[in-house]
Amino acid sequence: MKSLIIIKIGGNVIDNPDALKQFLTSFRGIYGHKILIHGGGKIATQVAEKLGIQTTMVDGRRITDQPMLDVVTMVYGGLVNKQIVAQLQAIGVDAIGLTGADGNTVLSKKRAVGNIDYGFVGDIEEVNSGQIQYFIRQNLVPVFAPLTYDRSGSLLNTNADTMASAIAVDMAIRNETTLVYCFEKKGVLADPNNEDSVLAELTPESYANYKSQGVISKGMIPKLDNAFSALEKGVRKVIICHANQVAEAVSGSGVGTVLSLGTQE
């Protein structure tokens, strides 16, 4: 099997031009086949505010009505995605910017209305790994915006962490796949106030213990839930690290937090 690195970049890196440039330079240095998935929520909120469109969040998740769907489509699929692609091209990386609608790569269904109506938010149903593999065989680096689509032709706002996990799981059928979540922290922290208190490894057991103690909480929980789900479904390795350390993390230099199921080396 060929090796494949799938990297999701988010947090404060996307909306910081200097940090993003530094990350993309590191990303260029990662050898072999790779895929990049990005977020961009803070920029979407800023653009919505300029347009007079209210942003509503529930438990950290964006309510996506029609006006907000228009905003995230413009920001994620246009502004952020094409800026990243252009910057990669400028440093010698042939990249192709995609949403899940492009090439029928990621199909979703609109989230059912329960206690909360999230609006035009997509829950992933299928990943077309064959099409993504085709892009990679053409020596292109797919760069995915967190947008998918449904069978009725509607675009859907989709959680970038979930999208990265879903793509990694499907690509793992054909590739030895490593999934990396990068942001502005050095990894999963034992002490949120100490940037150097990085947990070197997490297993499902230690993760459950840290959650019960409140060491791991809030937005890190859905990220780790996605990560462990990916491992259980065939992804070889999951790493959580600082965007500046992505090349080191992928090379196995011992930075960041490495997730395992506890039964594998």
Nearest to 150 by CA among 114, 187, 99, 200: 99
How far is residue 209's CA from residue 213's CA, in Å, rounded to a whole number? 6
CB neighbours of 76 closer than 8 A, spacing ≥ 6? Answer: 38, 39, 40, 44, 99, 145, 146, 147, 157
Is 41 one of the annotated binding-site residues?
yes
Is 12 one of the annotated binding-site residues?
no
Is 219 one of the annotated binding-site residues?
no
The CA dihedral of 120, 126, 132, 134, to the nearest 10 degrees, is: -130
Is 62 one of the annotated binding-site residues?
yes
Residues flagged as binding site: 40-41, 62, 157
Residues flagged as binding site for substrate: 40-41, 62, 157
